[in-house]
Amino acid sequence: MNSFSQHVLTWFDAHGRHDLPWQLNPTPYRVWVSEIMLQQTQVATVIPYYQRFMDSFPTVQALAHADEDAVLQHWAGLGYYARARNLHYAAKQVLAMDGVFPQTLEGLIALKGVGCSTAGAILALGWQQRGVIMDGNVKRVLSRHFAIGGDSSSAAVQQQLWALAEQLTPHTQVAAYTQAMMDLGATLCTRSKPLCLYCPVQKACQAFALGTPSAFPQKKAAKELPTRRAYFLIIKNEQQELLWLKRPPTGIWGGLWCLPQIEAQDLQQLSDILQQDWGIKEPKIQSMTPFRHTFSHYHLQVQPVQMRGQVGLIKEQLSQWKTPQAALQSLGLPQPITKILEMLG
């Protein structure tokens, strides 16, 4: 075993995290769900979502047989909903293999939404086999340790990092090493202000020697995000239910249920659209406080409006009426929509 992994493993024994929910009974299914949840989300945020998800879908069979709305409802608030849709789809793929997860890298990456790093984690943590991971934590530790410059998302840098990870990952104690690298990145080699003084591999760390750990990994200069504006319609019927539309399966908030969303420059244009496209005569619109929601590629200026007026048939989109409480309990709603419901009180 190389000295890097030896130091990391010794540190992990004493200081690593050993009681995360997915570390208890780490089956391939439980590891897979945790890895997908952790892809864009911090551990502390993931834990309650993970526990709720496992309570409702304790096995891959339960997940495969679940209704998509129920799966998305369990994901509501975590963002990047394609992860949940892919998870649901891949559970059906595993079910078609008699409910047994593949035990090879090739077999695992054939599952929808599973890339090389997630597959490596399932192999190492779920199957106790050798698997190599490259999540954000590992990328940060290795970029710093070897002072790897250049745009970290470029193919050349990625290749270099994977080669190093492959070389450093031991052939024994792979599960412990995998978790150790995640923990090292999450607790010591953090994005800002890394705690190098406590780091088990500090002596050989090139970024530490240079005195510039935070300069790695290097990112492309961030572009300023454009801002878009959309109106979200709160339309109530006599039973105090709101109108909900299901989003198309792909794209932002794909498959979730949403208040009707209309992109318009101002209230006049909104009113015109409602009259022309929705057949609503003289809609009475009342604006609520707007707020901003940020996606990876743009800011969305969310403008909730309450509206009265007879709504005709909604074409080409699934729709239903539900009270805010019932919607919160049974539908997958995007986080800004939950916020609008909170504003309604």
Q: By the criterion CB under 6 A, which residues form the site for ligand SF4?
A: 141, 144-145, 188-189, 194, 196, 199, 201-202, 205, 207-208, 213
Helices (H), the chain: 3-15, 28-38, 43-56, 60-65, 68-75, 82-95, 105-109, 116-121, 136-145, 155-168, 174-183, 206-210, 267-278, 324-330, 335-344
CB of residue 222 vs ligand SF4: minimum separation in angstroms?
22
Cβ proximity to ligand SF4, 212 vs 317, nearer residue: 212
Residue 241 annotated as catalytic: no
> Residue 227 in contact with residue 215, Cβ under 8 Å?
no
Label residue 87 exposed, middle or buried (CB < 10 Å: 0-12, 13-18, 19+): buried
Cβ proximity to ligand SF4, 122 vs 180, nearer residue: 180
Cβ proximity to ligand SF4, 74 vs 145, nearer residue: 145
CB of residue 138 vs ligand SF4: minimum separation in angstroms?
11
Cβ proximity to ligand SF4, 48 vs 150, nearer residue: 150
CB of residue 205 vs ligand SF4: minimum separation in angstroms?
3
CB of residue 295 vs ligand SF4: minimum separation in angstroms?
30
Q: Which residue from 208, 251, 193 is spatially nearest to 261, judged by alpha carbons?
A: 251
Out of 35, 166, 241, 263, which one is annotated catalytic? 35
CB of residue 219 vs ligand SF4: minimum separation in angstroms?
16
Q: Tally the residues of the chain.
A: 345
Label residue 44 exposed, middle or buried (CB < 10 Å: 0-12, 13-18, 19+): exposed
Cβ proximity to ligand SF4, 50 vs 216, nearer residue: 216
Which residues are paired to 245 by β-bridges? 258, 319
Q: Which residue from 170, 163, 131 is spatially nearest to 1, judged by alpha carbons?
A: 170
Catalytic residues: 35
